[in-house]
Structure 1
């Protein structure tokens, strides 16, 4: 009897275990010259082709084509940024795109954030008042750039004497291709995800993005070592990632029209709009839709529950489209 049970267990393991052709881990490391610095489009040739379920371990490079550096002055950075914009080049240096076999328009791409290893240094900055960039464009006559250095274990940053920050690395930008025919700036968030700057998307969380073109064409950039909700000065601790490990799963059973995220403790809905009030309304609508769809609540019940238990936070206020995200606690559901 025991032998039969062991034999059955062994056969079950062999049948359920992924074969050699399934669920691979793919390394993909780039130099700054290999980064993609253009607009978001649906016709960018893929840099890597993977299968549904595969994991990719990759790196990212600094902003400004990989050239942003703590050795720069603010004027150096501004000159480089101005030059790139005059040439029509985006200031984001993307790793990708990744073509995921099996992803079709109408599907959802599930992006599981497994691991992030930040780099050794970072930069934060503010722009002068006359540029009208940031959440408080007043009282700063000159631009400012501050170099930041991570501790050897990459766990902290000494911002100033007596001021130590715990790192909480995340990708500021994770995007799939927009709809065919559209060309979008890389600094804008939207239905394709993009530059969400959502500090909740750390390792251990999952992002769900609606797919708009065959293969999804996923790209990542804008590495942040740490950021507060709002990102009010326009910059987080802008860094690079030595390694990011993401797993990609094509979901045929999940139909979304807007990005959704999941942490071990919360469901996270999002809204983006150039008007912060409208972004808030969008996030509330997304929360109501989620609670009706997933939890079977009426519209009235869902809206009431949003007021009682959902925390709505300002994601960022500094890009063309501002963001609000709603934190729906899993603990309230039995």
Structure 2
């Protein structure tokens, strides 16, 4: 299978949205490997960053219109043979930081505590690529654990152009910190070619993404892209070496938790032929519900189902 390199620059990105009408910037075959290099940044940080900001990022900010959301998305990539009703399997072999900087921001009327922090604050975070830590001068260094916060396929054509802020059935702004190197994500496909896009690199993030952002930074990722015609999904799923991950999204956090539970019960029926009653009991005894994020308008909860239960 072939390997393709995709570098974020003005002619390979769309800023702030997903849209099934976008022309693909690259075409690949099922089973091919995609090496993608993303950018993250805003115009107001460029002066402070100086030469640390890449020319590609500067060109994107100058030339590409931002619409609906803040995320610079690389793609879309069309996958040969992908059809509506199929599933796109994304095997994330490696994710690593590209640069020695990232940023974190608080913005008014946003984040988990908008009433307590009604102002803008942005800090550049220095990334030590050897020690794999981030430092913004607060007297503490955080360990890096890079992953892509926003990736997925194009939404159904009838949905039109949608902002990159919320997570949904096509993926989008999942902000799930478990999707690091070695994880696998699955997305229902709604369009010919799937039209896969990726962006919103995170150097690290806590569950909840409390203040609004993670360490936002450019990342490089190596992903194997596979069309699965033997699967059918209504919503994204994922797995790591140790857990199956079932996701729920809703503006109301309780409803997001309910969706994650229902997805888990459904999955246990598919995986083990388990009755709904037994699956619900197992959720109570062994499944962890984690708050994915509370800051994207549509909140996220993910259920962590240990694979060790079925060893």
What TM-score do the two structures reach when normalised by structure 2? 0.90
User: Shift of residue 196 of structure 1?
Assistant: 0.4
Aligned residue runs from structure 1 range 70-81, under 5 A:
71=48
1:286: which partner in 2? Answer: 263
Quickly say closer, same or farther: Cα 1:286–1:249, change in 2 above 3 A. Answer: same
2:57: which partner in 1? Answer: none
Aligned residues, how many?
296
Matched, 1:120 2:100: yes
1:277: which partner in 2? Answer: 254
Quickly say closer, same or farther: Cα 1:319–1:38, change in 2 above 3 A. Answer: closer
User: Shift of residue 142 of structure 1?
Assistant: 3.0
Which region of structure 1 is more displaced relative to structure 2, 182-191 or 259-268?
A: 182-191
Choose which of 144, 150, 157 in structure 2 pairs with 1:180. Answer: 157
Which region of structure 1 is more displaced relative to structure 2, 216-225 or 144-153?
A: 144-153
Unmatched tracts of structure 2, length 5 or more: 50-62
Quickly say closer, same or farther: Cα 1:192–1:145, change in 2 above 3 A. Answer: same
Choose which of 20, 26, 50 in structure 2 pairs with 1:42. Answer: 20
Quickly say closer, same or farther: Cα 1:204–1:43, change in 2 above 3 A. Answer: same
User: Shift of residue 159 of structure 1?
Assistant: 3.9
Quickly say closer, same or farther: Cα 1:197–1:303, change in 2 above 3 A. Answer: same
Aligned residue runs from structure 1 range 64-213, under 5 A:
64=42, 68-69=45-46, 71=48, 88=67, 90-118=69-97, 119-127=99-107, 131-153=108-130, 155-160=132-137, 162-182=139-159, 183-213=161-191
Aligned equivalents of 1:307, 1:70: Cα separation in 2: 51
Q: Deviations over 1:10-51 (max 9, x none)?
A: xxxxxxxxxxxxx11111213256421153111110000000
When you count strand as a share of all residues, which structure comes out higher?
Answer: 2
User: Shift of residue 328 of structure 1?
Assistant: 0.2
What SS does the corresponding residue of 2:163 show, helix, strand or coil? coil
What TM-score do the two structures reach when normalised by structure 1? 0.84
Choose which of 256, 261, 274 in structure 1 pairs with 2:238. Answer: 261
Unmatched tracts of structure 1, length 5 or more: 1-22, 73-83
Which is higher, the Rg of structure 1 or of structure 2? 1
User: Shift of residue 139 of structure 1?
Assistant: 2.6
What SS does the corresponding residue of 1:160 show, helix, strand or coil? coil
Over aligned residues, Cα RMSD in angstroms?
2.1
